Structure 1
Amino acid sequence: MKKCWMVLISLCVAFAMPTFADTKPEEASRAKKLLERAVEHYRDEGDRALAAFSRQGPFLEGNLYVFVIDSEGVMLASSGPSHALIGRNIKPLLDDRLKLDFEAVLSESGEGVREGEYRWVNQSTGRVERKKAFYQRVGDHVLAVGYYLGRPGEAEAKALLGRVTEDLKENRHKTLNAINWLDPRYIQDELYAFVVDLQSKQFVAHGYDLNLIGQDFVSLKDRTGKSIGQDMLDLIDDQPEATYSYQWRNPVTRKFETKQAFLRRQDDLLIVVGHYSNLEADSEAVPNNN
């Protein structure tokens, strides 16, 4: 039952979350083409195509597979982890929030290709990773194909830093509030931003831990007792940008991992976005002046 529940979460959250810049354009192209072939095959064969979608064959390409759900919420076909749910109405198993997201997908009348993101355990790596799904409604059925995006890295962190910087320039109050309200525009899986007022030395925005808002940044330390906050302030004191590596708990994996943070000073604000490595941290934070 637990496995079924996780499968359901992966299917439904896929359609609810916003998407960010795709770091795997070739994989995206493969997924879209597989969905296009599946849609064409279904239009030609009707429900006879469901058997082909539920076994190893031309509609299973590595970790890419097709799954199909009808307008009542019944899983009709899948050659992936949701294969065990074929023939079951999955809606009664959903909580209220996921049920609303799921109903929204099933109620869509258009037949164009849509997309969304979610987190799911990659069986080949054993890690929770972002996954992107392309889906299309055909009649009263929804066909979908998803693929793994991998964990956010340096490119994604710098892109988010740039987005926050530009939005703060345009409307500081609105952007700080949006970050604190955990607006999905500023959260990408384990990637988030925080902002510090350089005059008060206090957090004014945080994209993950709202308990830090208004707290003293100077006193921020890692688990070894290293003064992370003061180190960052020292780095940014005489330069507009810097990088800094330290230990912090990953909000997704819940493990302490090495985090590389990108720092930017904008007027009286310090903006920080960092990405986590796959390595568990075992040493104290160390400044990085590169």
Structure 2
Amino acid sequence: MNNLAKALTIAGSDSGGGAGIQADIKTFQELDTFGMSVITALTAQNTLGVHGVYPQTLDAIEAQLDAVLSDIGADAVKTGMLFSADIITLVAQKLTAYRVNHIVVDPVMIAKGGAALLLDEAVEALVKKLLPIATVITPNLPEAAKILGIESIDSRTEMEQAVKELHALGPRYVVLKGGHLSGDEATDLLYDGETIHVFSSSRFDTKHTHGTGCTFAAAIAAELAKGASVFDAVKTAKAFISTAIKHAVAIGGGIGPTNHHAYKKESLSS
């Protein structure tokens, strides 16, 4: 038990359990890592949308970070909803001070229902302070366009250009998720500064995709915590989230969550 890899998520709490801290902890557990959390904001949330966002104070966030990192430590950290420039600045300072080895940045900006989860003025702080210390960043197409200050990314060719421009901002690796494009497959691109690696999976006919981005990034963090290469971590994360979407949970009256247990269940039965 003492050798169990440790993964920390720094994100918002989703009261509906499908995204944010809750999705991350479930993913860490399913991938055999010890999960810990720093809550940046509370959200009143369900399958119908986000009904309230309540950021935590900087003091509360700093205290959580210090408590975990000074005592337990983390083999990998995943960031999700950070909400404000002040929170981003604090998180970047602390992760640098504690010399965290692997940082996975999921630049959460907008919830599935359209609610803003990152203030507009915080994008600059994200780009200048967090991306340069990231091992991997995992934006979807709208998030990538926002980071790059462009209107949209609408094709595979534009994805290939965008992934290079994102890498130039400082992260060691970029995973650009192509789920917003149409087609029979969902294709993501991993760029290491030299080579673009392609990860594709079948596209499933379901609306229940709440928490996909959180889950995917958390899976990468879990695998990095266990010592996997970035390529192998992304490969496993792609399989994990594809299986979770395939067996998504149809609960509530809106967009239901993915099934975090599906990957391990399929692995055990095969």
TM-score when normalising by structure 1: 0.28
TM-score when normalising by structure 2: 0.30
**Is the radius of gyration larger for structure 1 or structure 2?**
1
